[in-house]
Amino acid sequence: MTTTAETKRRKKWALKRPEKAIHTPDDTSQIVRRLLSYMAGGELRSKFTFAMVLRLIALMGETALPALIGLAINVFSVPGGSIAELNRLVILIVTAGLFYLGVSFVADRMWGDLATRASYNLQTHMYTHMQTLSLPFFDSQSRGELMSRLTNDSEVISLFYESAVTDIIRSMLQIVLTFLVIVFIDWRLTIVAILIVPVMLLVMNVANRISSPAFKKLQEDLSELSGFQEETFSGNKVIISNRRHKWTDERNVDLAVQAYDSGSKAFFTSLLQYPLTQALTYLQIVIVLMVGGFMVINGRIDLGTVIAFSMYVGLLAKPVASISNLISTALNGVAGARRVFNIIDEVPTVKDAPDATDYEFKGGHIQCTEVDFSYISGRKILRQNTFEVHPGDAIGICGPTGAGKSTLINILTRYYDIDSGTILIDGQDLTKLTQESLRKQVGVVLQEAFLFTDTVMNNLKYAREGATDEECIEAAKEANAHDFIMNLPQGYDTMLTERGASLSQGQRQMITIARAMIAQPKLLILDEATSNVDTRTEKLIQEGLKKLMAGKTSFSIAHRLATIRQSAKIMVLNGGEIVEYAPHDDLMAAKGFYYALYMSQFKGKAPNNAEVTDMGFIST
């Protein structure tokens, strides 16, 4: 049990851990322009312009109020004033106030809609773009990190649109209008009023230089925290089975404290601007009243004009203080946008060639020549692999863990591009084919049967747009899935939980086989499709796979060699190289690497009853 002292030491350690390097960004203005393009670009440009005009008109009504109030004060402060004149000014003041409220209401509705549209446009743009990225991008990012960008970063950007943009634009328009009015009223008092402005700008600049990198780190820390929490939710079974709750809790606290520390620094610095600018504003008003009072005493200005001018100073200071108060929201939004734009600016590593053509199926003849591949430059996973697969052949793939089996499949489906060599499918260069046309012809059944949170029927229809209920039911029957589906509470309309957790591993796999049948592929890839199931279920799955594979060129990765011994040929990989490639009987007769692998799996003995101790397994 953790003591109070231990908890304090842990938190103290978390607060003092080395921080990631922070660099003050020099592209903030560019990021702001990109953000505004989602709010004021394209079809929204005219609406944005109209909203600006409405905001300006509303502020003109507000700006007229101090001048009218000053005139009203002069009516009863200067000898000769009349009740009729005062009544007329009161009516004008009320009218200007109602005009300001009415137009502001319409403008606020438009700005609210623009902010919502901008958030929607940016979030959907990011998500849609992510769907175009290649697998290497997702390999380098944790799921929690990506979810953080879709949620946390999108949320702070929404606040940027809803609060910062609308209020800063209103404040800037108000500053310009008010400044023009006070210059017109009295240039001498204007000089007195703006003496404090440079001090306000200095305060804002210093705070921004401190808080901008702090907000950047805050978003990074929140992303790390979100990623850890998402990962622990996904791996909760591992945590429970290994009794790692205490470690999980402590790590979560450490990350939360780290984010808290970054947030405290960022928000304290930015929020400190508001009381400072407010204090400077009051000082500004006091100075104006003192100077204006002396001018009234000397008869150089009316009392109403001084009062109106002091109100304008307050009206001028209010948007300045508002802008300083919104800096934290703006900087947080920019920090989130920088991370979002990093994704939007990411380009797919696997792209269709400019002259790419659609794949034309001609039987499924595959030729690979001197193929090299590496995930990371300089570290080859596949080396100089050459092989040929004839149309309709069922090819088994085996080898020790890390030999490159799944990698070989990944390049055949062009999830990754090869480093060198050539791959021809039906005489067509793989790199010159469009990815969509290729993958439309390739069916894949993975070891992990992934099902979406949806009905069984919709999970089956996911394989091919336009698939009918009848086709899905027939495919389920072929895959031996129909009987257990009908025993579900609502049959094919049963809603599955995330990843199909309410079904057994074998049942999930049968549904994915049926889904592959509905796709009607010409080429087939099976990656450990029968692992982790009992013997009876494996037999049912094998029956479904046999129907699925009939007449198709197929590749089957397997650790259990019995599942691929009937293949036309078996490809044996070790250390990223194809060391043997022949039918099962020929490989056994050769008594080479496959023979030793087979004997060790089924009998634990090598030739002459010798124990198999080292077969030269090489991991890539």
The model's confidence at residue 500, banded by pLDDT at 50, 70 and 90, is low
Nearest partner of 543 among 483, 601, 592, 595, judged by Cα: 483
| Cα–Cα distance for residue pair 139/141, rounded to 1 Å | 6
In the chain, what are the domain boundaries?
Answer: 30-344, 448-520
What value does the mean pLDDT take over residues 505-512? 85
Residue 4's pLDDT band (cuts 50, 70, 90): very low
10 by Cβ neighbours in 10 Å (0-12 / 13-18 / 19+) ranks as middle
Phi and psi (nearest 5°) for 396?
-90, 145
Q: Is the pLDDT of residue 314 over 80?
A: no
For residue 240, the model assigns a pLDDT of 64
The one-letter code for the residue type at 254 is D
Q: Which two tokens stand for residue 232?
A: 């622990």
Spell out a b/e string for 16-32, using b for 16 or more CB atoms within 10 Å of the CB, else e.
eeeeeeeeebeebeebb
Closest CA to 190 of 306, 326, 112: 306
Q: How confident is the model at residue 182 (pLDDT cuts 50, 70, 90)?
A: confident
Q: Largest Cα–Cα distance of the chain, in whole Å? A: 128
Edge-to-edge strands, sheet with 553-557: 442-445, 523-527, 553-557, 394-398, 569-574, 577-582
Instruction: Write the CB contacts of 538 (distance below 8 Å, at least 6 apart in sequence).
Output: 506, 530, 563
Least confident of 177-181, 314-318, 439-443, 575-579: 314-318
Judging by beta carbons within 10 Å of its beta carbon (0-12, 13-18, 19+), is residue 502 exposed, middle or buried?
Answer: middle
Report the mean per-residue pLDDT for the chain: 79
Residue 388, beta-bridge partner list:
367
Q: What is the per-residue pLDDT across 203-213, written as a single tens digit (0 to 9) for each?
A: 666 766 666 67
Residue 119 has pLDDT above 80, yes or no: yes
Task: Name the residue with higher pLDDT: 457 or 240.
Answer: 457
Partnered with residue 527 across adjacent β-strands are 557
Identify each DSSP E strand in 426-477 by its residue range: 428-429, 442-445
Flag whether pLDDT at 26 surpasses 60: no
Under the banding of pLDDT at 50, 70 and 90, the label for residue 610 is very low
Average pLDDT score over residue span 550-561: 86
| Residue 472 CA: distances (Å) to CA of 26, 337, 466, 523, 544 | 55, 43, 11, 20, 14
Q: What angle do CA 281, 282, 284 make, to 5 degrees?
A: 65
Count Cα atoms within 13 angstroms, Cβ side, for 284.
29
Q: How far apart are CA 573 and CA 104, in angstroms?
A: 72
CA–CA separation, 595 vs 584, rounded Å?
A: 9
pLDDT level of residue 342 (50, 70, 90 thresholds): confident
- CA-CA distance, 263 to 293, in Å (whole number)? 45
Question: CA 580, 584, 585: angle at the middle one, nearest 5?
Answer: 110
Q: Distance between CA atoms of 381 and 599, rounded to whole angstroms?
A: 27
Tokens of 354: 């400019």
- Beta-carbon contacts of 309 under 8 Å, excluding residues fewer than 6 positions away, are 66, 70, 182, 185, 186, 189, 193, 288, 292
The highest-confidence range among 117-131, 163-177, 379-393, by mean pLDDT, is 379-393
397 or 243, higher pLDDT: 397
Q: Is the fold of 30-344 the same as that of 448-520?
A: no
What average pLDDT does the segment 96-121 reach? 89
Q: What distance in Å separates the CA atoms of residue 464 and residue 515, rounded to the nearest whole number? A: 8
**Residue 325 pLDDT:** 67
**Which residues touch 440 (CB under 8 Å, ≥6 apart)?**
359
For the segment 341-369, the average pLDDT, to the nearest whole number, is 90
pLDDT of 140 reads: 77
Three-class HEC string of 304-345: HHHHHHHHHHHHHHHHHHHHHHHHHHHHHHHHHHHHHHHHHC
Read off the pLDDT of residues 530-546 as tens digits, 9 standing for 90 and up: 666 666 777 777 777 78
CA 14 to chain CA centroid, nearest Å: 27
Query: In sequence order, which residues have a C-beta less than 8 Å from that of residue 33 and are 6 or more positions away?
Result: none
Architecture per CATH, domain 448-520, reads as: 3-Layer(aba) Sandwich (3.40)
pLDDT digits (tens, 9 = 90+) for 577-609: 999 999 999 999 999 999 988 888 766 544 444
**pLDDT at 434 (0 to 100):** 92
pLDDT exceeds 80 at position 471 = yes
> Which tokens hold the place of 448?
């992990």
Query: pLDDT tens digits, residue range 435-467?
Result: 889 988 888 887 777 788 888 998 898 888 888
Question: What spatial distance separates the first Cα and last Cα of the chain, rounded to whole Å?
Answer: 43
Number of H helices, E strands in the chain: 23, 10
Strand order through the sheet with 382-389: 382-389, 366-373, 420-425, 428-429
Confidence of residue 79 (pLDDT cuts 50, 70, 90): low
What is the pLDDT, as a whole number, of residue 53?
A: 92
533 versus 3: the higher-pLDDT residue is 533
Higher pLDDT, 12 or 157: 157
pLDDT of residue 387 exceeding 70, the answer is yes
* Closest to 500 in 3D by CA, of 548, 450, 572, 569: 450
Structure tokens at 528: 């450990």
Question: Cα dihedral sign for 7, 12, 17, 22?
Answer: positive
CATH fold of 30-344: ABC transporter transmembrane region fold (1.20.1560)
Contact between 284 and 193 (Cβ < 8 Å):
yes
Question: Alpha helices of 361-443 — where are they, by DSSP H?
Answer: 405-412, 435-440
Lowest mean pLDDT among 15-24, 101-110, 253-262, 518-527: 15-24
Percentage of the chain surpassing pLDDT 70?
Answer: 81
Please tell me the predicted confidence (pLDDT) of residue 452.
82
Radius of gyration over every alpha carbon of the chain, rounded to an integer in angstroms: 35
Which pTM was predicted?
A: 0.69
Q: Mean pLDDT throughout 64-74?
A: 81
Is the confidence at residue 332, as pLDDT, over 50?
Answer: yes
CB atoms under 10 Å from CB of 247, counted, come to 11
Q: Residue 1: is its pLDDT beyond 70?
A: no
**Residue found by looking up tokens 């697998």 in the block:** 135
Residue with the larger pLDDT of the pair 9 and 253: 253
Per-residue pLDDT averaged across 499-518, rounded?
82
